[in-house]
Amino acid sequence: MSPASPSKASARTLAVLALVAVVAYSADQFTKFLVTTNLTVGESVPVFGQALVLYFVKNSGAAFSLGAGYTWIFSILAAVVVVVIVWFARRIRSRAWAIVFGLLLGGVLGNLTDRLFREPSFGLGHVVDFISTPWMLPAIYNVADICIVVSMALFILLTLFGVNLDGTRTTRASERAAQEAEDREAEADAATLDPAEPGDVSPDAGRQ
């Protein structure tokens, strides 16, 4: 591998991350635009009976409307998450992980945009939620929430399958081999520190 390969890999994965984030963010904001311009708050429109309902609400809290009185805290936390993802992105070499962080970034930015620029004020804006699936979740959510949940599910899967940020894969066999190598290295270090040699004879040997 040439010295330029890592930087090229980083550029490709960053491009994937950015593209996924832009698509996720755009889909979230576009669907929210359609909802806010065609529905009134509290209005519901069945799409597939009660399996999928468009139900326009404004949420000042987190998921399940928790912490409704602490909108500004969620705004700060979301901004921190965005900064951490952007900073962390340079370590990613795997396209799968780029998709994970791209979905997370797009989703967090989508809801953060609502909190910053929607009513009632900057940093205290209410998030637009409109997707209701009562058979699956007792909550109303949006596209940004879906992106965040999917990114978390992919995060768990990649972790379980041992996929690292650089695209390599950690298996039990490789873990055992690494552990055995460490054990051998530790034994070699111990042997070099031991002053006794196999052929050494104690100075008191042969004394009666």
44-48 β-sheet, strand order: 44-48, 52-59, 127-132, 140-141
Question: How do residues 159-169 score in pLDDT, each as one tens digit?
Answer: 999 999 888 88
Helix (H) or strand (E) holding 45: strand 44-48
Task: Find where tokens 């873990």 sit.
Answer: 175
> Does the pLDDT of residue 4 top 60, yes or no?
no
59 and 126 in contact (C-beta within 8 Å)? Answer: yes
- Side-chain half-sphere CA neighbours of 204 within 13 A: 1
61 or 26: which carries more pLDDT confidence? 26
22 contacts: CB under 8 Å, gap ≥ 6:
106
> Does the pLDDT of residue 3 top 50, yes or no?
no
13 contacts: CB under 8 Å, gap ≥ 6:
92, 93, 94, 95, 97, 98
> Does the pLDDT of residue 2 top 50, yes or no?
no
Which among 73, 41, 45 is positioned nearest to 59, based on CA atoms? 41
Q: What angle do CA 153, 140, 108 make, to 5 degrees?
A: 50
Residue 74 phi, psi (nearest 5): -65, -35
Q: What is the pLDDT of residue 62?
A: 62
Query: Mean pLDDT, to the nearest integer, of 39-46?
Result: 94
Residue 58 phi, psi (nearest 5): -115, 125
Question: How do residues 68-97 score in pLDDT, each as one tens digit?
Answer: 566 778 888 889 999 999 998 888 999 999
57 or 201: which carries more pLDDT confidence? 57
Catalytic residues: 129, 145
For residue 176 the two structure tokens come to: 């055992």
> Does the pLDDT of residue 205 top 60, yes or no?
no
For residue 8 the two structure tokens come to: 């090229």
Helix (H) or strand (E) holding 2: none
Query: Mean pLDDT, to the nearest integer, of 97-125?
Result: 93
In this prediction the pTM is 0.76
